[in-house]
Amino acid sequence: MPVDQPADRRPPAARPEPGLRTRTMLAPLVALALSGPASAATTVAIDDPSAPIRFALGHLEQALAGTGAGPVRAVAGTANPDIHLTIGDAAALGPEGYRVRRQAGALTISAGDEVGAMYALLDVAEQVGGRGSLAKVADAEVRRRFPVRAVKYNLPWSPYRPSYQNSDPAWVGGPAVTGHLETCRDLAYWQKFLDQMAENRLNTLSLWNFHPFTHMIRPTGFPKACALSDAELADWQRFWHALFAMASDRGVKIWLFNWNIYVSPAFVAAYGGSFANDRSEQVKTYTRDCVTQLIDEYPEIDGFGIAVGEGMRDMSSREREQWILDTVVAGLRAAKRPVTFIHRAPFEGSTAADFRWAMEQADLPGPKLAEIKFNWSHGHSTPYLQVTHSLKIDGMLADPEPTDFRALWTVRNEDIFILRWGDPDFVRSHIATNGGKLIDGYFIGSEGYIPAADQSHVPSDHKTWDYAFEKQWLFYTTWGRVLHDPAVKDERLVWAFARRYGAERAPDLLAAWRLASKVPLRIASFYAATWDYTLYTEGFAAFAASHGPYDGSSPLISVDELIGHATLDPAYRSITDHLARGADAPAGIITPPMLAAECDRDAQTLLALVGKQRAIAPAASGALLCELDDLATWAHLGTYFAEKLRGAEALARFRASGDTAQQQEAIKRLERAAEHWRALSTITAAHYHPTPHVAADRFSWSEYLPAVERDITTAREAKPTR
């Protein structure tokens, strides 16, 4: 069944009354508003507004203040309100849905629930900012497209990706993880992160790590598994409850995920066994009881998820599922209240049939969902499903269709950690292609990147943000707004740019980001990757082998690796396949020369748009300087890719034919590619210092220049193979 809003677990005094309820509020009176002087205080006729509504009213007050209006004040009733707000019309609008209409000189808002009312008021606030006054607010009607619009957030304690040296049983982590520990314990950070989630209509914060329990509870039957003192644990618990309360105040649900058979290092020290893959009855009991205690002690938690894989690698498919039934499912069943159960789709060594069996056996009172990786770890590629996690999902969602669970896609981002990104057309295409009747929503997020401390940017006057996610605001805005309503108009994104950089610049900035954001999609569609480290698109790098040769000399994808690599999207022809089939291609097939031409065309247009922005007075400053340089970086990376494709094709032709003209063409193209790499290295060095990366000690474009130049040497020293 669909996942709707969870039961309200706020204190009784803060809960809304059941059934249809009408709230009346007087909106700010502005210069072009409906009556009264522009400086008059805005009165809101409302009895005990809920926290989500108060959150949205703050945004409305801020937007109206920008037009010269006075403050917003809540009062107990008014005869002639400017905004009528009715909550409880769920039958017509659905959960989180709303309608805004102008009737008899007033705005009338109908909402399916409290969160729908919050979104409606945010909509009105956004329109006030974009159109200039309350009087210009247009009618709107929005029904959510998906009930789940989740951020996948990997926590830095007991982390899944501890460091580039791989797994650390003590879960200490490398700098790409430990650099976020302080920020992720700061509630001021989480307030900003949750603010942007609500503003972008992202409604689920999913928190992931190996073993969440011992930072949250002291397991009753295994108290020494938690290494924290009573005071330390109490401090952690205050943190969690405060974080979860802030989420609730913004209409955001909390889901927790762990992987599977893992315990804490303190558990091993006190009770024996091993920290991973310990299938003893003791660990089963410990896991089951931890799940129950966690749900009972944290009424704010709305869902719990589990994976098959990782610590289960030497178990059969059925054994894995049985372990989950005996531990996690049994623990959820024993809890005092229902929550959503999320079962991550089978990994290698598991079968869809056993997954279906386990979901049927999981007799739980709450909803059940299957989480499926879309194109494994590299969802920012093609919008057409090619791979999940080394397992075809045939039979998981069909033959017959399941009736006892629904599914969620996870669009992972292991490809864009430093540069900005946002392409609404890609998200719309993804939804149109994959948002079938069994799909309840999406996760977006990373396994190797934590959007907390900004570890990449050098100190600078134009660094106007505090946290990494604020720099990458367009990523969250694009995904959140389009997942909520695929029909959302581009003007809403234009307004987002206008709020930051002015109305004159906004339309071209959106157009520029549309073009720039296609660069990583094309690279990841052409270069087939699997797990996290097999592709890092913004660095044109692979830290591990996947579907082609891998020499390991440098993470940079070499010209020889490009020649021999398979494509992810079958509409793209690999270089090897292109040479074998010839230049002719049927409609819908993209050959390497066609792909290179597309990249060149878009890069030229993109650089022209960047130049136009730089010519606008007053001159670009603050974060806009960094955005423009990110755009230029993507343009040069796109042209680098184009020239490298041409050079790779020519090099392969020379080796096959001995035609020295092809060798000279390869050298020329690879030299041009190097020019663009030098250009992007210069741009990025002005903004970004070498940055910790989960798969390597650090990453920097300029440090890959020797590997870029090695391609030229490869072409010069190449010999015919015939």
pLDDT value, residue 85: 85
- Cβ-contact 680, 640 below 8 angstroms: yes
pLDDT of residue 11: 38
pLDDT of residue 44: 61
Averaged pLDDT for residues 593-608: 98
Whether 84 shows a pLDDT value over 90: the answer reads no
486-495 long-range contacts, CB within 8 A, separation 24+: 486/145, 486/427, 486/428, 486/431, 486/432, 488/424, 490/424, 491/130, 492/126, 492/130, 493/422, 493/424, 494/130, 495/126, 495/129, 495/130
Tell which wins on pLDDT, 71 or 520: 520
Digit-coded pLDDT (tens) for 535-579:
999 999 999 999 999 998 999 999 999 999 999 999 999 999 999
Is the backbone peptide bond immediately before 81 cis, with ω within 30 degrees of 0? no
Q: Report which DSSP code applies to 251.
A: T
- Say how far apart CA 214 and CA 224 lie, in whole Å: 10
pLDDT at 376 over 70: yes
pLDDT at residue 39, rounded to an integer? 54
Question: Strand pairing partners for 441?
Answer: 148, 408
Confidence (pLDDT) at 192: 98
- Helices 623-657 and 660-685: crossing angle in degrees, nearest 10, is 160
Give residue 423's pLDDT: 98
Two tokens, residue 489:
């108009």
pLDDT at 49: 86
Residues 599 and 146: their CA atoms lie apart, in Å, by 33
pLDDT, tens digit, for every residue of 631-668? Answer: 999 999 999 999 999 999 999 999 999 999 999 999 99
In the numeric block, which tokens belong to residue 115?
Answer: 């969160």
Q: What is the mean pLDDT of the chain?
A: 91
How does pLDDT run across 341-357, given as a tens digit for each residue?
999 987 788 888 999 99
The predicted pLDDT at position 42 comes to 66
- pLDDT at 172 (0 to 100): 59
Q: What number is the average pLDDT over the span 312-325?
A: 93
> Residue 82 has what pLDDT?
77
User: 213: pLDDT confidence band, cut at 50, 70 and 90?
Assistant: very high
Mean pLDDT of all residues in 307-333 = 93
Using pLDDT thresholds of 50, 70 and 90, give the confidence band for residue 446.
very high
User: pLDDT per residue over 266-284, tens digit each?
Assistant: 999 999 999 889 999 999 9
In the three-class reduction of DSSP (H, G, I as helix; E, B as strand; rest coil), residue 103 is classed as: strand
Quick: pLDDT tens for 153-192.
999 998 887 643 334 444 557 899 999 999 999 999 999 9
Q: How confident is the model at residue 687 (pLDDT cuts 50, 70, 90)?
A: very high
The reported pLDDT for the residue numbered 72 is 72
- For residue 490, CA distances in Å to 382, 383, 544 come to 22, 20, 38
Yes or no: say if 540 and 527 are a contact pair by the CB < 8 Å rule. no
Q: Which amino acid is at 692?
A: P
Residue 619 CB partners (closer than 8 Å, separation 6+):
none
Give residue-wise pLDDT tens across range 6-56. 444 443 333 333 333 333 333 322 222 333 344 577 666 677 789 999 999
pLDDT above 90 as % of the chain? 80
- Reported confidence tier of residue 398, pLDDT bands at 50, 70, 90: confident
Tell me the mean pLDDT in the region 507-514.
98
Residue scoring higher pLDDT (263 or 23) = 263
Categorize the per-residue pLDDT at 596 as very low, low, confident or very high, splitting at 50, 70 and 90: very high
pLDDT at 291: 98
Half-sphere exposure of 96 (CA within 13 A, CB side): 23
